[in-house]
Structure 1
Amino acid sequence: MQGHDRVLSVEKTTENKFLNMYDLQYENKVGGHGVYHIASRAMSMEELKMKTRENKPDGVIIYSLYGEKKDHVVLVRQYRFSIDDFVYEFPAGLVDKGEDPAQAGIREMKEETGLDFVPLKADEMFCKPLFSSIGMTDESVATVYGCSTGQVSREGLEDNEEIEVVLADRTEVRRILKEEKLSINCAYLLMHFLHHTEEDPFYFLHNE
């Protein structure tokens, strides 16, 4: 009976502030050996999720509705170096030490958009941290849901953040899904937004 792939050793190969690279020496299920490269938010080997066996969220994404009828969704159109282009996403960011995801969502929404965010309590199955791109990183993010009010502002943006806030209605969401570049988690949740009702815009969070 064959075994399974396993990590033999880990070496950290960079010293960066927000993201680092690690080389994993591994043995595969038939006895072959190789090196697998991953990126991680972990600042040390001991903090890697493969070491802690804990899935604490590195960041949050924020699904927020806007307007009296909650008929707009808050998006950001952001420049990303990885593709040298703009992409539509939800407001998002890293969870600071001592924060829970809801607190991080409130802070990040204010910083990126100027809006005031009120989180909605949801069942753990909908907001637990999930892996963002498991083939290349152990990063996980939690989703927070809620509504925002106030006026859009750019005052909280950092110098290297190039962000346009978009309050999109269903017509604009359809156009974005058809024509624009999006993050995959944003695309999936926008598909839900297209079918929400005024009576229950968070219908998809029911645990039934």
Structure 2
Amino acid sequence: MESPKMEKLTALAKTRFLSLYDAEYKNRKGEPKHWIIASRKSYEDLENLYFNHGEEKTDAVVLVAIHQETHQLVLIRQFRMPLNDFIYELPAGLIDEGEDANSTIGRELREETGLELIEVTHLQDKLYLSAGMTDESVALVYCTCKGAVSTEYLEADETIEPILVSKEEAQKILESGSKLDIKTYLVLQQFILGML
């Protein structure tokens, strides 16, 4: 079976954090098709990646953080505009220009939760969140932290409530019917089972 082949990329819309592109390609039968891609990458970076086999860069970090003093899992409740509601998530953030995953971890943990990074215990790079819609990739980071949760370091456009949850509280969140990010759902299950 022949793989589809992208032939042309056209920028449709660009914002500070996200852009839309039209990918023209031929399907496995050779028929011309279009696919809309949401990306955090610039047109130049995508063009280099798709047509010149350039290096793919990780877009963000997602943090599975255990609070050292309490052995609780660090979560956030964040208002997300596409949902027009709050959702339980793991702390996360974009890798800024000039940073890599490692240099982003402590900054994002502090910004979103007020907590201080102690140690990264595992980092799995280039994991994809919704490959049918976006090329966004993340580094999933397991780490330990300390301190008290705080909203002092949030950016103006962030509406985030950082929380520490016990296994019992994690179970209640899963049973509550609250909106959950899928990564958070899976990590809460791991946490309850003692796998973290």
**TM, length-normalised to structure 1:** 0.86
After superposing the two structures, state which structure 1 stretch, 26-35 or 128-137, moved more: 26-35
Q: Give the gaps of 5 or more residues in structure 1.
A: 203-208
Q: Does residue 19 of structure 2 align to residue 20 of structure 1? A: yes
Q: Which residue of 1 aligns with 2:138?
A: 141
After TM superposition, which residue ranges in structure 1, 4 or more long, deviate above 6 angstroms?
Answer: none
After superposing the two structures, state which structure 1 stretch, 137-146 or 187-196, moved more: 187-196
Distance 2:5 2:159 in 1: 41
Distance 2:46 2:24 in 1: 18
Which structure shows the bigger proportion of residues in strand conformation?
Answer: 2
Number of corresponding residues: 193
Distance 1:69 1:113 in 2: 15
Matches within 5 A, 1:1-208: 2-47=1-46, 49-51=49-51, 52-70=53-71, 72-122=72-122, 127-179=124-176, 180-196=178-194, 202=196
Retained in 1: the 8 A contact 2:5–2:25?
yes
Retained in 2: the 8 A contact 1:10–1:45?
no
Secondary structure in structure 2 of the residue aligned to 1:128: strand
Question: Can you list the C-alpha shifts for 1:46-75, whole angstroms capped at 9, x where unaligned?
Answer: 3354344533210000111114252x1000
Retained in 1: the 8 A contact 2:121–2:144?
no
Retained in 2: the 8 A contact 1:19–1:41?
yes
After superposing the two structures, state which structure 1 stretch, 100-109 or 72-81, moved more: 100-109
Secondary structure in structure 2 of the residue aligned to 1:191: helix
- Per-residue deviation, 1:153: 1.5
Secondary structure in structure 2 of the residue aligned to 1:99: coil
CA gap 1:30/1:172 in 2 versus in 1, 3 angstroms: same
Distance 1:50 1:93 in 2: 25
- Per-residue deviation, 1:169: 0.5
Retained in 2: the 8 A contact 1:79–1:86?
yes
Residue identity (%): 36
Amino acid at match of 2:154: L
Retained in 2: the 8 A contact 1:66–1:149?
yes
Distance 2:33 2:56 in 1: 26
Q: Give the gaps of 5 or more residues in structure 2.
A: none
- Per-residue deviation, 1:100: 2.6
Q: Which residue of 2 aligns with 1:206?
A: none
Amino acid at match of 2:101: P
Distance 1:139 1:157 in 2: 23
Retained in 1: the 8 A contact 2:88–2:181?
yes
Amino acid at match of 1:7: M
Q: What is the alpha-carbon root mean square deviation over aligned residues?
A: 1.7
Distance 1:131 1:53 in 2: 18
